[in-house]
Amino acid sequence: MQDNLNARDGGGDAGRERPRRASEQAQPLSDREVPLAGSPTSEMINSWLDGDTPEPVAVSAESARQVDLWRRIEEESQRRRHLVTPAHVKAQIMAALPADVPQMALPWWKKSMHVSPVVAIAAAAGLVALGAAIGNSVRIR
């Protein structure tokens, strides 16, 4: 008997593709290891979009289409570059700020400590009791 090495791929159903898991489908396109469909963005276009060279003169129909596509994307990007924060948002932020003045977060050893008289007396009594207990144990030895 032969082991079925393709059990995960749907058993004996030759030619039937294993359905893709949801996690695989949701994976960002750019994270996939397979090559992207379509033609790669040429060095010429990257150089133009990076501002290193002027807009390229297309030498082929394909590169002309790519240049046109990126010109349109750049137009849309330019439009978005002029979007401003809606006025009401600034007012909302100011209204939502805490009333307290922001303070520097101090480490615990730098923070001032307030001790009430009752707590101070209790702590002193505790220390006296502890000292007496230690003294007794030393005397016994």
Partner 1 sequence: MKTTVPTSPTDQLEVDQDIISRVLAGDRDAFSTLINRYSDPLYRHALGMTGSPDVAEDILQMSFIKAYQHLAEVRGRFDAWVFRIVANGCKDWLKNIRRTHLSYDEDDQPSGYSTPDEELDRTELRSDLDRALMTLAPSLREAFVMKHVEGRSYEEMADLLGTTVGALKMRVHRAREALQALLEEKYA
Which tokens in the block code for residue 54?
A: 């002027």
In one-letter notation, the amino acid at residue 94 is: M
Residue 4 or 39 having the CB closest to partner 1: 39
8 Å CB contact between 10 and 16 = yes
By CB under 8 A, is residue 9 in contact with partner 1? no
Which tokens in the block code for residue 117?
A: 């008289």
Binding-residue total with partner 1 (CB under 8 A): 44
Candidates 7, 22, 59, 84: give the one binding partner 1 (CB under 8 A).
Answer: 84
Candidates 19, 86, 107, 117: give the one binding partner 1 (CB under 8 A).
Answer: 86
Residue 7 or 34 having the CB closest to partner 1: 34
Residue 12 or 86 having the CB closest to partner 1: 86
Rg (Cα) of the chain, in Å, rounded? 36
Considering only residues 40-59, where is the footprint of partner 1 by CB under 8 A?
40-41, 45-46, 49-50
CA distances from 12 to 6, 19, 38, 101, 122 (A): 8, 15, 34, 71, 80
Q: How far is the CB of 56 from partner 1 (least distance, A)?
A: 14
The C-alpha atoms of residue 6 and residue 64 are separated, in whole angstroms, by 46
The C-alpha atoms of residue 16 and residue 62 are separated, in whole angstroms, by 36
Residue 85 or 137 having the CB closest to partner 1: 85
Which tokens in the block code for residue 9?
A: 């791929």
What residues make contact with partner 1 under the rule CB under 8 A?
28-31, 36-41, 45-46, 49-50, 65-66, 68-70, 72-77, 80-81, 83-86, 89-90, 92-94, 96-98, 101-105
